[in-house]
Amino acid sequence: MIRFLQTPGPIKKIVLGGLLTMISVFMVITLVPGFGSTDFFGSSGPARGVVAKVAGTDITSLEVQRQAREMVRQQFPRGGAQASMLLPFFASQAAQQLIQRQALIAEAEHIGLRSTDEAVRDELQHGRYSETFFPGGNFIGQGAYEELLQQHDLTVTQFERSVKEDILIDKLRSLVAGGAMVSNAEVRQKFEKDNAKVKFDYAVLRKDDILKGLHPADTELKAFYDRNKATYNNSIPEKRKIKYVLIDTAKLQSEAQVSQQELQGYYDQHRDEFRAPEQVNVRQILIKTPLPGADGKVDQKGIDDARKKAEDVLKQLKAGAKFEDLAKKYSEDPSGKDGGSVGWIKRGGFPVPDVDKAAFSLAKGGTSDVINAGYAFVILRVEDKQDAHMKTLAEVKDQIEPILKQQKAQQAADSAASALLSQAKSGGLDKAAAAKGMPVVATDFISRTDSLPGIGASPQFTEAVFNAAEKSPPDQVQVPQGLVIYELEAIKPPATPTFEEIRSRVETEFKNERAGTLLTQKTQELSDRAKADHDLKKAAKELGATMKTSDLVLPDGQVPDIGSMSGAASVAFTLKAGDISGPVDSGNTGVVLAILEKQAPTDTDFAAKKDQIRDALVQNKQSELFGLFMANLREQMEKSGKIKINEQEMKALTKQQAEGEEGE
């Protein structure tokens, strides 16, 4: 469907951050309570590979995994071991999101809401995806479009179906929450709450100062250790000693040789992949027409003026003016600065059939008449043409050779690993590796998070190693670098450290706990004394607190030694001038405030901000209404059996996460 959206323009660098806005829509769904029925499809038993059935539609494990990977990419764009380890957790979240999403789609369709291809086209070209797929109003090209989606494990069909579903959900949200309103009183109250200012003296006590004065005896520390011994149980994690051989596929690939015969064979078997489409190299001059007004009416005079301007440009071309010069001068498309060049375009690559037809009907060097494209008047010039043809082997050799080398490397790795593992099981890894001239890496006792030579921090490998039974035979694991044959030599089980082994840790924890308690007590005493004498400065001097004075500060402001005024210090906005606060806990400080001045916002400020405040309040209320609607919908669909969960498949997706939590 995207082909009819294509607009002339150079393929530009893509901004990936804007691609999957729908993910942020999904995130709202996590507010809804967890799964319901555990009976999956009645007596027929759970369907393998299906996580849930929602109103007759399957949510598959593959869909959940794809969604989870996308969530991980957003949270951890650089990837790494941490991202891989958290994938099972995200899989659980992804499953919930997809189930709720499908429930909303089913409800939207049930009440008669529809989403058309035209709506999808408009969303991609003018909505949340426009800057990604149509930067500057020009389509990035079919190839770039497909490649961008592939980076997110999506096909064109999957993505455009998701966009269509997003439109349905948006319609449902508008129907459910579109009538949300807020009163003038609510707007004024929110304005005054967010824009009032306060100035105060404040006395500060610091936890660090209290820590410096703490010197606990060993008897106190030992008593603390005994009292909290349960928290130290098995705090020394299990460790394992192993030896392994890495069969590096990258090394094998660099050594692989590919013959001309093999290249020819692959080429013959994959000819369809090497067909070059019919395409034209085009320049354009584009004169935009005015958009319809808010009332939907079209400015006919503006359209007529645009047409006249385009016809004047065409006259200049016919009189011998250079197309590139006129494009730079008149074209209202970003390609104008490049002389109107939009590069090679495949047949069907223009959004308007008349433009597409004109481009492919012109001879090389030909210039079109003025074409009405609806959104603009367009003049085309065809710089070059290319008929559909089959690329030669010489043209695609550099594309085929790495594929064949990778295949050979994988086959060689599989063969070498199979032979090594077989011999290792019968005679041990050292003997088997020595016979084949392969180096063996022997480790000391390692933990799950250690980085290993040649492998790095590999969750796949350590998961296999730490799940292996004691005295189990050698085994094989696939890692990003290749295949690993490993042998488990010894297990050191989790242990509880003695007091002597963790005395330093115990002392730190004891002092932090005692300092926190003393800080709370001392801050309370500071407040009590200040209130009794109506004098914060006197109480601060008696207790060794530091006195400071704030500027006039807003509720979202920051104050030194206090931090955000939106936390515990927000009590300042509830007090009158002259009042003294109770203790304010700011983490590592204890604070008491004495209000000096309160400043109310002005009516002028209110007039400037009221519309923005109203919009924000309406959006919040809409979110609340839609959240309640989703929760109720979920509950009703679970009760009626329209949502059924395959708990077995859910456990399979989140097994690694669950095991990780048990091992902590």
Check residue 81 and give its pLDDT.
53
> CB–CB of 580/594 below 8 Å?
yes
Residue 18 above 60 pLDDT? no
pLDDT of residue 374: 83
Beta bridge partners of residue 492, listed in sequence order: 239
pLDDT tens per residue, range 279-299: 999 999 999 988 776 666 778
pLDDT tens per residue across span 358-368: 999 999 999 99
pLDDT, one tens digit per residue, over 523-564 is 999 999 999 999 999 999 999 999 999 999 999 999 999 999
**Residue 296 confidence (pLDDT):** 66
**For the residues of 222-289, what is the DSSP string, one character each?**
HHHHHHTHHHHTT-B--EEEEEEEEEEHHHHHHH----HHHHHHHHHHTGGGGEEPPEEEEEEEEEEP
The architecture (CATH level 2) of 278-387 comes to Roll (3.10)
Lowest average pLDDT, out of 57-71, 357-371, 422-436, goes to: 57-71
**CA separation for the pair 91, 89 (Å, rounded):** 5
Q: Higher model confidence: residue 26 or residue 529?
A: 529
* Confidence label for 587 from pLDDT (cuts 50, 70 and 90): confident
Single-letter residue type at 502 = I
Which of 509, 497, 510, 507 is CA-nearest to residue 232? 497
On average, the pLDDT of the chain sits at 86
**pLDDT 10s digits, 246-258:** 999 999 999 999 9
How far apart are alpha carbons 293 and 373 in whole angstroms? 19
Assess whether pLDDT exceeds 60 at residue 202. Answer: yes
Give the model's pLDDT for residue 68. Answer: 84
Residue 43 has a pLDDT of 38
Start-end of CATH 1.10.4030 domains in the chain: 2-180+621-662
Residue 295 is predicted with a pLDDT of 66
Q: 0.75 exceeded by the pTM?
A: no
Residues of the chain with CATH 3.10.50.40: 278-387
33 pLDDT exceeds 80? no
Cα end-to-end span (Å), the chain:
50
If you average pLDDT over each of 158-167, 338-347, 504-513, which comes out highest?
504-513
341-346 vs 50-54, strand pairing mode: unpaired
Least confident stretch, 88-102, 136-150, 200-214: 136-150
Instruction: Determine whether domain 2-180+621-662 maps to CATH 1.10.3470.
Output: no
- The hierarchical CATH code for the domain 239-263+394-492 is 3.10.50
Contacts of 92 (CB under 8 A, 6+ apart): 650, 653, 654, 657
Mean per-residue pLDDT, 122-146: 84
Residue 122 pLDDT: 86
Closest by alpha carbon to 420, among 663, 260, 245?
245
Counting residues of the chain whose pLDDT is more than 90, the rounded percentage is 62
